[in-house]
Amino acid sequence: MNEKFRSRIITSGDVSPDKKESIRRRHTDGPMYFESLDPSIAEAVDAHGLEILPEEIALIRFAEDVTNEAMRKAGVKPFEIPLNHYHVLPAEVYEKHFSGNATTYRYKWSESIFMNADSVNRKVLFGSITLHELMHVKSHRTLHVIATDTGLEINHRRDGVSVISNKAEEGEFFRGLHEAIVATQEKISFPDMLSIPEMKDDKNFWESSEAATYRQEMSEYTGVPADDFLWVQPVGDTGIEWRQFSYHHHREVLKFICEKIQETYSEYADWVGVYEEFRNAHFNGDLLKIARLVEDRFGKGSFRILGEMTNDDESAIQCLEKMKVLSGINVR
Ligand SMILES: [Zn+2]
């Protein structure tokens, strides 16, 4: 099968075909396009970067395999990020430069993953966050190359399924769907991740009745569904620490849509089969098929409603209500 590159280049003004091809290659062919880091970030990495442990390298390999397999299914040429583009920084250093648990970082042509050491201090968290960020790193890109008086200006127009308007005030569409696709893969791949040899202890604990009891108790306490915990473990004498798969509300929207579509189209054995159509779009950038599936099931204009979902929880909750109304289910 002829695999496509993950990047597409559109141009304005005088951009030669050779230049266009060289940009596409630098942005597509893997290590070639990974260059240096921003000097202040490079300094932080040099001074404070923590060693990536052997079992973490195994989890990186797992995430690379999952994403490359998904890219192949989407008809896209896979690539790998060099190991030295994965960075774990102590929390106080990480928080000076980035926010949250982890960041997919772009600088010029370089692309790397930065993780907050406090957020990945368990193998299971490291593995899940790595897979999440790698889904972002390898997503489809459309780059708009504009010839200006001072040289070439390069803007992202598409990132996975996200559409970035060239009018700043319009912002980005489909960002919420983008995160839903990424986070759903995190959850789907979890049992396979636990099955790699380096995760044997975690798997044993996860499958124990002790862990099941913790999940049940914490589910009652927090309202998080018991099967949505990524990790629950007692800490010290009284505390229990827990973590949920990311973007719960966004995943609910995507799962609901996939289930409704699956009811209509017999070619899909289950909702995951429909999910894979969305994941294909994340990697190959082709929105037509998912737009048609959504609009055929939920009506004209429904794909645009899905596009308005941002990465904010409240936006996902509202989007689910709207999609339920459109699907014919009564909501209170
Ligand atoms: Zn994300």
Domain ranges of the chain: 7-188, 208-244, 248-326
**Distance of CA 245 to CAs 138, 187, 210, Å?**
20, 6, 20
CA of 328 to the centre of ligand 1 (A): 31
CA of 245 to the centre of ligand 1 (A): 11
CA of 171 to the centre of ligand 1 (A): 17
Per-residue tens of pLDDT for the chain, all 332 residues:
578 888 888 899 988 888 888 887 777 666 555 566 788 888 999 999 999 999 999 999 999 999 999 999 999 999 888 898 899 999 999 999 999 999 888 776 678 899 999 999 999 999 999 999 999 999 998 988 898 888 888 888 999 999 998 777 778 899 999 999 999 999 999 999 999 999 999 999 999 999 999 999 999 999 999 999 999 988 888 788 899 999 999 999 999 999 999 998 889 999 999 999 999 999 999 999 999 999 999 999 999 999 999 999 999 999 999 999 999 876 55
CA of 243 to the centre of ligand 1 (A): 15
Identity of the residue numbered 275: Y
pTM score, whole prediction: 0.93
Tell me if 122 sits within 8 A of 82, measured CB to CB.
no
- CA-closest candidate to residue 247, choices 94, 161, 132, 108: 132
Identity of the residue numbered 26: R
d(CA 158, CA 89): 29
CA of 289 to the centre of ligand 1 (A): 23
Tell me if 139 sits within 8 A of 146, measured CB to CB.
no
Tell me if 146 sits within 8 A of 155, measured CB to CB.
yes
Tell me if 55 sits within 8 A of 198, measured CB to CB.
yes
CA of 309 to the centre of ligand 1 (A): 14
- CA-closest candidate to residue 33, choices 65, 84, 81, 76: 81
